[in-house]
Amino acid sequence: MAGRFEGKQALVLGVANKRSIAWAIARRLREEGAELAFTFQGERIEKGVRDLAESVGGHVVGECDVRSEDDLDRVFAATADAFGGGLDCLVHSVAFAAAEDLEGRFTDTPRDRFWMAVDISAYSLVAAARRAEPLLQARGGGSIVTMTYLGGVRAVPHYNVMGVAKATLDASVRYLAWDLGHSNIRVNAISAGPVRTLAARSIAGFTTMEEMFEQRAPLHRHMDADDCGAAAAYLLSSDAANVTGTTLYVDAGYHAMGM
């Protein structure tokens, strides 16, 4: 299995700290030979991301607020410069909703924060894929992976507007898979069970969610970020050459249960 990404280059969006799912994916890709580039979102986490990137010999191609067209243009231009004009893999692990919208009723979500959640969590994949397409084409094709959650297909208490954003993301994966398939670019999603990340802390009742998950998932065990890293490495590799438009559940089978 080692060496699946020798000579491959990947851009990773969404590393916040060493607990991030995006970081687990990046580490797995590096272990198998990939050269990596990272973005960061805001000065608060810049040093941490730079330190992590340095630990795997990666590039930091700049700050990226995914709502900013200028930031996205600059990041993908810098990626092209770092990687000689091409790209093999894009990892999109970006999502955000206001904390107050994950506590009360979904009905009370204000219009501006509704669209903010959809913009950051779903449209950002579309915007990134559009810019990645010519770089991936330059290598004869490639693969894109994003992170979703069961809350996009079922109502999960306290997930609220983020569930709507994930449903939009799920549909976007399918439409992007169709559009980009003509360029030999595959687009897939990973739906993980509860993983203790920085983002998870903002979900009210996360501890209860973990307890229910362990009780009801067929394998009766928790997930960790490395499980997602292994799944992403499969989807991004040539082992998944005919897999696109798909959501891979990495949740100990929880999604298969009715109760």
Asked if residue 258 belongs to a domain, the reply is: no
Which of these, 11, 13, 18, lies nearest to 87 by C-alpha position?
11
The pLDDT of residue 160: 96
Asked if residue 3 belongs to a domain, the reply is: no
Average pLDDT, the chain: 93
Least confident range from 21-30, 101-110, 168-177, 210-219: namely 210-219
- The answer to whether 149 is a known catalytic residue is yes
Whichever domain contains 97, its CATH number is: 3.40.50.720
Asked if residue 4 belongs to a domain, the reply is: no
Domain that holds residue 56: 9-251
Asked if residue 257 belongs to a domain, the reply is: no
Distance between CA atoms of residues 196 and 214, nearest Å: 14
The pLDDT of residue 213: 83
Asked if residue 193 belongs to a domain, the reply is: yes
Least confident range from 76-80, 87-91, 254-258: namely 254-258
Residue 37 has pLDDT above 50, yes or no: yes
Asked if residue 256 belongs to a domain, the reply is: no
Reported as a single tens digit per residue, the pLDDT across 224-254 is: 899 999 999 999 999 999 999 999 999 989 9
Our measurement of the distance from residue 116's CA atom to the centroid of its chain's CA atoms, rounded to an integer in Å, reads: 17
Least confident range from 5-19, 176-190, 210-224: namely 210-224
Which of these, 180, 188, 170, lies nearest to 237 by C-alpha position?
188
Asked if residue 259 belongs to a domain, the reply is: no
Q: Determine the 3-state secondary structure of 53 from DSSP.
A: helix
* Catalytic residue from among 123, 159, 175, 234: 159
Query: What is the mean predicted confidence (pLDDT) over 205-226?
Result: 82
- The answer to whether 254 is a known catalytic residue is no
Taking the model in full, what pTM does it have? 0.94
Q: How many domains, the chain?
A: 1
Asked if residue 2 belongs to a domain, the reply is: no
* Catalytic residue from among 149, 175, 234, 249: 149
Taking the CA of residue 187 as centre, how many other CA atoms within 13 Å lie in the half-sphere pointing to its CB?
A: 26
Distance between CA atoms of residues 91 and 125, nearest Å: 10
The pLDDT of residue 259: 76
Reported as a single tens digit per residue, the pLDDT across 122-157 is: 999 999 999 999 999 999 999 999 999 999 999 988
